[in-house]
Each structure stands twice: as C-alpha cells, then as structure tokens.
Amino acid sequence: KAGVTQTPRYLIKTRGQQVTLSCSPISGHRSVSWYQQTPGQGLQFLFEYFSETQRNKGNFPGRFSGRQFSNSRSEMNVSTLELGDSALYLCASSWDPITTDTQYFGPGTRLTVL
Amino acid sequence: AQSVTQPDIHITVSEGASLELRCNYSYGATPYLFWYVQSPGQGLQLLLKYFSGDTLVQGIKGFEAEFKRSQSSFNLRKPSVHWSDAAEYFCAVGVKAAGNKLTFGGGTRVLVKP
C-alpha cells in the first residue's frame, strides 16, 4: 500500500506570495492532518480534516487554510507569505477520526520564503 | 492543555551501547502516547504507540517504551544501538477528545559514535 504522498517536495517563494501544498493520504484513510516543523517552534499542529470538514484547528493565523476533497486528498494554502513561514510542512493521514488514531506521515514539503 | 517535554536535546551514544530517551507529558487523564523517528530530510516514522493495556510497548527496529502513570513518563529504550539509529526522535501525546491532534515534544537528536 502506498504511503502518504506530498507535492511538491520543495518550494521557493517570495514574501507576499501565496502557496498551495498538496497531500494524498494512504488509500482508505479519511482523516488528514497538517503540521508545521521549524527549528525554533518544533512540530506544531495546523489543522485536521475529515469528510471535507475541518475538525480541529491549531493556533495559526487565518493566512493558513486548508481543504479536503471527496477523495480525501487535502490541500493547504498559505497566503501573504512571511519569512517565518519557511518550514517543513508535514501531512499525516489516519483511518479513524473519531478517536486518536495512529497517524502516518508523508515526507513533507520544504517551503523556503525569500 | 496537554504538553510534552523531552529533557535531552542531544544524546551521543556508542554503537552497541544502550539508549534511553526521556519523555514526560502533562495531561489530566491517560493520554495516547507515541514515539516517532525522523531521519534528515524525511518525514516522521512511527516507532511505537501506547493507547491502553500493557504498559511496556514493543515497537519496530528493536525499540520499546514503558508508560509510567505515576511519573507521567513514556521513555524510549533500545538495548543495543546501531549506526542507523542516528536520527531525531519525537515523543507525542494525543487526547481522545481532540481527535487526531498531536502535541509533540521538542525532540532528541541522537548521534551514534562508531
């Protein structure tokens, strides 16, 4: 079974631009979560989606948004990029969204904001 | 809100020696506990998890962890370290009411000496 895939793997943007990252979960998994990883703040939860609905949201500004499609694929969008948005963005999928389930992570998208 | 502390930022261990990584959590009830490993430039790989039951949990790659409720700890151990174990290790806690939102510790980077 294929793992979680994320595209693109690397991205370079400039301040003020916007960016969209994509995540395809493991087949059959219906919950997708996003995390931001930076050297200073570590791993921080962004949001979780299930059945095209956001179920959980972390403490990030409204510039960070996401969505989930009917096939469970998810995208996250960051508008008006800031230098501090440079990070590794990790997507994780799991089967059961009702209780805490084992999450499987993708390789991440490395975003660099210049 | 729950929190996770990994007191050791870096650990250096000789190949063949034992390894123990510390993890302390703060949460009022029994949490769901996870250990993940991240190699450079990679996503997170699940080593093991604790949801309930036997407090000594076996994982992949010869790792085990013990949940101690009285100490709010979930330390990771490996009897004999291999050079390929050099990586960063993350402890994470999940809460049943919070779905798949994980709170991560700051991580412990393990260096293996030949």
A 10 A CB-CB count for B18 gives 11
pLDDT of A85 strictly over 90: yes
What DSSP string runs through B35-103?
EEEE-TT--EEEEEEE-SS-SEEE-GGG-EEEEEGGGTEEEEEESS--GGG-EEEEEEEE-GGGTT-EE
The Cα A25–Cα A79 span in angstroms is 23
- What's the pLDDT tens digit per position in A23-46? 999 999 999 999 999 999 999 999
Contact across the interface for B99 and A92, Cβ inside 8 Å: no
Contact across the interface for B100 and A108, Cβ inside 8 Å: no
The Cα B102–Cα A91 span in angstroms is 12
Nearest to A48 among B32, B43, B101 (CB): B101
Structure tokens at A36: 């931001």
Do B66 and B55 contact (CB within 8 A), yes or no? Answer: yes
The Cα B75–Cα B20 span in angstroms is 7
For chain A, list the strands marked E by DSSP.
5-7, 10-13, 19-24, 31-38, 42-50, 53-57, 64-68, 74-78, 87-94, 104-105, 109-113
CA distances in angstroms from A45 to B15, B64, B78, B109, listed in the order given:
34, 26, 28, 21
Alpha-carbon distance A62 to nearest alpha carbon in chain B (angstroms): 18
Give A35's contacts in chain B (Cβ within 8 Å): 102, 104
Q: What is the pLDDT of residue B30?
A: 74
The Cα A49–Cα A77 span in angstroms is 14
Residues of B near A (CB-CB distance < 8 A)? 32, 34, 36, 42-46, 49, 51, 90, 92, 94-96, 98-107
Nearest to A90 among B43, B101, B107 (CB): B43
- What's the pLDDT tens digit per position in A41-84? 999 999 999 989 998 899 999 999 999 999 999 999 999 999 99
Among candidates B41, B45, B66, B111, which has minimal Cα distance to A102? B45
Q: Of A7-16, B43-52, B62-71, B97-106, which range is least confident?
A: B97-106
Q: Of A82-86, A100-104, B10-14, B96-100, which range is least confident?
A: B96-100
pLDDT of B28 strictly over 90: no
Give B4's contacts in chain A (Cβ within 8 Å): none
**Beta-bridge partner residues of A14:** none
pLDDT bracket for residue A98 (50, 70, 90): low
